[in-house]
Amino acid sequence: MTTSPTTAIILGTGLGQLASEITDSYEFPYSEIPNFPVSTVEGHAGKLIFGKLGGVDIMAMEGRFHYYEGYNMKEVTFPIRVMYELGIKTLFVSNASGGMNPEFKIGDLMIITDHINFFPEHPLRGKNFPTGPRFPDMHETYDHALIKQAEDIAREKGIRVVHGVYMGVQGPTFETPAEYKMYHRMGADAVGMSTVPEVIVAHHCGIKTFGISIITDLGLEDTPVEVSHEEVQVAANNAQPLMTEIMREMIRRA
Ligand code: HPA
């Protein structure tokens, strides 16, 4: 089989189902790829899948690497370097996050319009890779045309979407009420433990990025609610069909 995808997707929380829709697939367990980290989180299998989705050649990452697992940023973002070397031009990502914008409801799909990098280690720290400049501009980290396309698709399909700034933090603790309040006041609408490192490296590689975050719990000012990994999974699974519908169509039009 030959495939030369220019589109990649990280099957984060809420997108696992898409993996089963990939046809003509060829799979590489991470454990068989030189230098690839191996994922440890429950519910995150680890393999690269090459195949077709809606007639489009794609490369999918099933299972991603989180900083809280103990990987350094070079490891967390290594798959993005591989994507670049393979000729990927567009990257779709998903994640789960805690909503801090009072307009948000659990189960909302938030189109990520921008991010705040609050990780303690920068993924581009160290010798600069020649894929991009030493000091990259970050004005349009999330591609405006792809955001517009997602809005069109959501409208056509009658799917409610919200927009917002994603704050990437190291975890693994969820936030204290004071932290949710601080992050919201810093300008973020949702907070989560992934995505930002991969998106920064993709951007530095000239790969266009689009991301959706499922709001799985709420950290609203003065109304703190407890949150557990299980609740996050349940909310994400419930939102999965709509998320999948948008992403499937985004890829079909890619
Ligand atoms: N905080 C951080 N990460 C998350 C959350 C949250 O509330 N929900 C899902 N991932």
Residue ranges covered by each domain of the chain: 7-253
CA distance 63 to 27: 13
Q: What is the pLDDT of residues 202-220, one digit of tens each?
A: 999 999 999 999 999 999 9
Residue 86 CA to ligand 1 center (angstroms) comes to 32
The answer to whether the CB of 5 is under 6 A from ligand 1 is: no
The answer to whether the CB of 14 is under 6 A from ligand 1 is: no
Contacts of 46 (CB under 8 A, 6+ apart): 29, 30, 31, 38, 39, 62, 63
The answer to whether the CB of 232 is under 6 A from ligand 1 is: yes
Sign of CA dihedral 133, 138, 140, 142: positive
Mean pLDDT, residues 56-78: 94
Pocket test for ligand 1, best of 196, 227, 234, 238 (most atoms within 8 A of CB): 227
- Pairing, β 23-29 against β 47-53: antiparallel
Task: Give the per-residue pLDDT at 28.
Answer: 92
| pTM recorded for the entire structure | 0.94
Q: What is the pLDDT of residues 119-142, one digit of tens each?
A: 999 999 999 999 999 999 999 999
Q: What is 7-253's CATH topology?
A: Rossmann fold (3.40.50)
